[in-house]
Structure 1
Amino acid sequence: MKPIFIDKIYWFIAFSFLFITACSDDDKIELIEPSQRVIFTSEMDFENKIEVNSEMSFGDVSAGVASRTWTFPEGVADILNSENDNTSAEENLKVRFRKTGKHNVKLHQTFKKDAYVGTTLKGKELDTTIVVTVLSPVTANIKANYINKDGSIGAALKIQNNAENEVTASRSVQFTYVIEGEPEAFLWEFEGGDPAAFEGTDENLAVKYKKQGVYDVSFVASRERPFGGDTLTLKNLIKVIPSTDPVELESVTSKNGNIALVYSREMDGATLNATDFSITLENGETILSPTISTISIDDEEGNIVLLSLGNEQIYNDDIIKVSYTAGVMATLDGVLADNFTEEQVIFNKVNILKESSEFDYSFESFTATNWPYMSWGAPWDAYTLEISGAQAQDGNKSAYVEINPGGGMIVGHKDNSGNEITFPVEAGKTYEIGVWVYVTNLGNIDPSGFDPDLRFFWFPDTDWAVVGNPTFSSNFTVGEWVYSATFVEFSQSGDKTFQIRGANEANAQTLSFYMDNISVSEASLRP
């Protein structure tokens, strides 16, 4: 007797044979070959840019191709592993480019049937042009010229090691770079100069020398892709010599909890006398007349005079004014300092808009279209804003604003893609929002109405009660840069945007002013 499971195996084999036979007779499978253009290069994500004598790969992985021809410009390329450097029928190529410039690489394809390009059906024959940019190696050189006392450009400096070009203390030099190879990043370092370092694309840079001595200059130009760079270091390029020019008080600020008087060149510590100075400090209804406990030259920067108030700590919301009665205070080269009266301390702060944001705080990088009207309706559309080089508190440009009689302004700040530019803040901290303004015309303000003002609203979660910053009262200073600030707290941490509102409703004439150097910084307030 046969086991039952053997019978089952026979039945399974027989059934499978019948099934296979049926499929072979009735269900013949027809495979459809796709027809689709797909081309790549090894640098397609980097605008097909390479450095001269570098290699680049090309690939045609299109489906349904009957034939292809790659064509390269005469005398430009070396097709590796090929005796023909102008044309090729290969699917994949590796090519070395031997000549700089923009070169058109062409691909002609013949498909077996009409081919798709993306989702669009095209014909059987397709032509494609790939533009390859071949860059020279990055090279960098610099030029330098004296800046004359009247601000005009003077004679050229000798650019070589140990040149020791003589620069009078407190005078400036204009530096310019000359480059090849399309570098994207630039870094200057100016030993003994102000600024001491600069990172940016500005072609012309003015550097002031305030300290006597012999100094180096270095310049680095670089690019990320294709990677390359060049560094130029010039030893002993600048020699700063004594001056007979008047010494200028450039700013009154803060440093390490002290009041800092920043002069245009080095001061002589032996000529300092605390009794020549007087200080007033106001904070709300509090008025103080603190005494100077010590006066000294800053250890790091010899052009800065430090005034210490001893046990009296200074805070960002203090209004501190310094006066000097001319005595014997002088520069190291023997020039006496002039007296000054009630110069206000502008605190030295870390500007979040500069350090942690793409916000164009000094109006140097974007155009007026990046400061668009924010569609609040009338009267907030009755203004004009342009980026101007006529006045600048910092850098070379500022925003020039005219607000019509009875009108207003509301502007935001957006990048070139139309996205609002943000800056980060933290809840629970106090911040100072600051701005410099230069009024050219206050107009005719109705004393019975509201004074014109600027207000910085932030979004989301703004404080609609934020005060004017500044408020343009009838006695507001005209024809000078004036700093204004207000202190705020943000209810929530995160990224914020600004909308700047200008109001001129009680003014029978146009209000016009320049605006520059907007800042947002953490602040310490008097308890």
Structure 2
Amino acid sequence: MLNNVRKKWISLGCWCLAAGLFVFSSSCDEEEDGVGEESGVITIKASHKGIMSGGTVMYTDSSTKVSQREWLFAGGIPETSSEPEVTVQYDSAGLFKAALRVTYTNGETELEEVTIRVVDGLTAGFSADQSSVIEYSYIQFSDTTIGKADEWLWEFEGGEPATSTERLPNVRYKNVGMYDVKLIVKQSGEIANTDTTLVSDYVQVVSAPSLDPEYEVDNENPVEYESVQFTDLTEGGAETYFWEFEGGEPATSTEANPTVLYQTSGTFEVKLRTTRTEPDRDETLVSDITVGLAPDITADFVANATSVPYGGEITFTEESSDNAQEWFWEFEGGTPSTSTERNPTVTYSTVGVYDVKLTVTRSEPSRETVVLKSDHVTITDPQPPVANFTSDYNKTLVFDAGGTVTFTDATTNDPTSYFWEFEGGTPATSTDMNPTVTYSSGGTFDVKLTATNSQGSNSKMLANYVVVASDGTVCDDSPANLIACGNYAGESDDLSGWRAATGSSFATDAISFTQMDHLGVSSAVVSSGAGSISYEMIEGNGLVIFTGSEFTVDTEADYTFTSDIYAETLGTTSGNMVVEIAIIPKGTNDSNLYRGWQAPADMKDQWATKSVTKTLPAGTYVVGYRLYGGHSKWHFDNLNVVKN
């Protein structure tokens, strides 16, 4: 039913005398036609009560006695009209009013309204999670219709199901081919609507791949009594597996990834059958695996000692191959005489020379190996010790008071106790095996060691072994912030702190120190003390490094290196004699920090003090000399490094 609203107006006018009667009129002029005429009847007709957006409604005015009409179409095209019949288009959804105002021939005006419902239309559409699949695959369809559909009818050519009224159907395609998909959507209610979409060859179904049986193993070269893990690599969607393992345990398996033990060596067949039901496939792979012989076991052992006094103990440690499982020892002259322990301890009570035998076995596969070490153990009659010792004391470096020396026992014949005597040292005596001693006063001091065991005692004494600078400094006028210092006082021919080589590069040539025999001690050319370090350069270039007194730089600062140098000319000396002092980062032999001099008259055949100042970054350093010229002899003494 149209929602019509009718309103009526009477135009203002005046009363006039007509035919003897007073009548109301819009004019009091002479009587005209129509005066006293009744109004017409307004009548609107609309072709539809409701339409889809984009549709049209035809409006018809059938009113009588109309002298003028005015249409107003809210939301429509056109928006206004004065025609008795108008077709109006509505492009958007909503409730819209169409109003008609008519003016009758008697001057009266009347208004009528009609309400039209416009709803959105439907545009059918769909999508799928995939459109190309293999046989027996499922496709999930989704409705993408524009508009508010409430009914769906799908048609799936070649699919299962062939039709569906679900909004989101899941369809299976079993057979190869190209298939159409059709969707009909409906909207029910006061304004019914429907739309259809058909996509030809939307679904492509291709043949499922054939099964391709394949596998890999975790051990490609197994040996007897080793297990092999088989891992299925079949492509094509295998559903069942049946393995056959010739020579293996188990002989068959339905697991996808079985583990198989091979107890004997040889080449064995491996068969893998794979199946699939939809679509039906059945494929078999036949291959082989080679199992090798297990390696032989090896037998060996070591002892913590091979010579002990009678009554002593020896611990034996087996070093057989990892695949050994059992050990059987035989100890001639020992207690126990046999053992099945892996690493036994044996006591020997009688002097003599004895064999040791070890048999190692393995059960799977069976293997046995024997090692016999004849006369391996010597049991002695205990002897008294022979005392001896060494130390870290550098005889080329006379150190300041307050320095320390660590002594290391080197006594033979198994001493059981020690008694050290340190003249001028703290402590003055010690029973430690390897004591460390501090020397607080200058002087030259003896060191004595007495070593004892059950058979007696023995002593060794080295006179004047340690030399400590008596004035508290090593080099003359050394400042308080001395970093490193060295000279030769003539008390020993020990040159362990010095290195010599031929060449011109500390980075490469000095690595081998090939000219140690050219390095020595000179008592004839002395700057101070009783001697100096001397180096004879035959020809070419030479390198001398003092490693006995390395020094450490904690933070970057300026340091000055000072050395007494004597360039001794020989009868065969020719050409210039040049020396370069180098400060070398320890471990790199990098000589980029150096200062060179050509030997002037004050250095030739006489002592001269030379120095160089460099800015050194944090690190550990040693000092050295790089020498040029012909056959000559160089002497060095009283070297020190001072932080500025």
TM range (shorter): 0.3 to 0.5
If asked which structure has higher relative contact order (CA below 8 Å, sep 6+), I would say 1
Larger Rg: 2
What TM-score, normalized by structure 2, do the two folds share? 0.33
Greater helix share, structure number:
1
